[in-house]
Structure 1
Amino acid sequence: MDREAVGTADLGRLRVEVRQVGHTAVFTPSGELDHHTADVLAEPLGAAVDAGVTRLVIDCANLAFCDSTGLNVLLGARLRVEAIGGAVHLAAMRPTVARVFEITGAEAVFTLHDTLDQALQD
């Protein structure tokens, strides 16, 4: 697969790397996704959807925390990309992040993968 770094965003507690893998935009947030840092992920997700990307993969392996604001960023991206026929895939969630999705029931509306490689192959 062709893997090319596209960009990064950083706000101290959250860093987001963005790259294109084939026709998929891969976002790798590292740190804490909360009401203070949500825009660091929301902006590149929105830009990808605006550019017509219909397959978004969020590699959650380095995401240490996600609050309701972070969850809303992901849900908003899901709604936008599904409106143009796409999907959001979440990969490699840590137990603390997965718990937020379990408690809220949000795990039912995303395609979840144990690893990034599985998400990219799906």
Structure 2
Amino acid sequence: MSPRYGTRFADTGATATLLRITTTTGSGAARIVHLNGQVDQDQRLRLESALERAVADRPPRLVVDLAGLGFCDSTGLNALLKTRIAARAAGLPLVLAAPTSQTRRLLEITGADEVFTIYDSVRAALADTAAHTE
């Protein structure tokens, strides 16, 4: 049985974290959505709902922090692309920050890295936000 179903790892005794979503406000009132754990079909509704709420709040900029993602499949990619369309319709800049190697590879092989603005860190995304508002 895979960790996705809550199986305990024999070597650590820890249960895998499926997906934890937290939201914070950064410099310039940018909204940061932090994703930690795994994004797959089982987590789709939670992820889409969190991203929809973030767009609906209309912050000056939306940053999706991918640093904590251990796994992201096409479900996560589709949620990000759907959010990009909604953000664009709302006139809201959406950027991705700190993708893990697996997530970066997913973005690259699908060509999604060509449609998103991607920063190496949340700090870099926020610094760029500050530079554009001064």
TM-score under structure 2 length normalisation: 0.78
Q: Deviations over 1:32-82 (max 9, x none)?
A: 111111222211210122222352101111111111111010001100011
Q: Which whole-Å CA distance do the structure 2 matches of 1:16 and 1:54 have between them? A: 20
Contact 1:24 1:53 in 2 (8 A): yes
How many residue pairs get aligned? The number is 111
Superposition map of 1:68-79 within 5 A? 68-79=74-85
Q: Select the residue among 66, 73, 98 that pairs with 1:67.
A: 73
Does residue 13 in structure 1 map to residue 18 in structure 2?
yes
Match of 1:23 in 2: 29
Larger radius of gyration between Structure 1 and Structure 2: 2
Match of 2:11 in 1: none
Q: Deviations over 1:81-116 (max 9, x none)?
A: 111212221111111111100110000111000111
Please list every run of 5 or more consecutive structure 2 residues that lacks an aligned counterpart in the other structure.
Answer: 1-16, 129-134
Q: Select the residue among 26, 51, 58 that pairs with 1:52.
A: 58
Match of 1:105 in 2: 111
Match of 2:12 in 1: none
Return structure 1 stretches of 4+ with deviation > 6 angstroms.
Answer: none
**What SS does the aligned partner of 1:61 have?**
strand
Root-mean-square deviation over aligned CA pairs: 1.2
**Structure 1 or 2: more helix by fraction:** 2
Identity %: 40
TM-score under structure 1 length normalisation: 0.85
Please list every run of 5 or more consecutive structure 1 residues that lacks an aligned counterpart in the other structure.
Answer: 1-11
Q: Which whole-Å CA distance do the structure 1 matches of 2:49 and 2:111 have between them? A: 25
Q: Which whole-Å CA distance do the structure 2 matches of 1:53 and 1:41 have between them? A: 18
Q: Select the residue among 80, 84, 94 that pairs with 1:88.
A: 94
Contact 1:54 1:84 in 2 (8 A): no
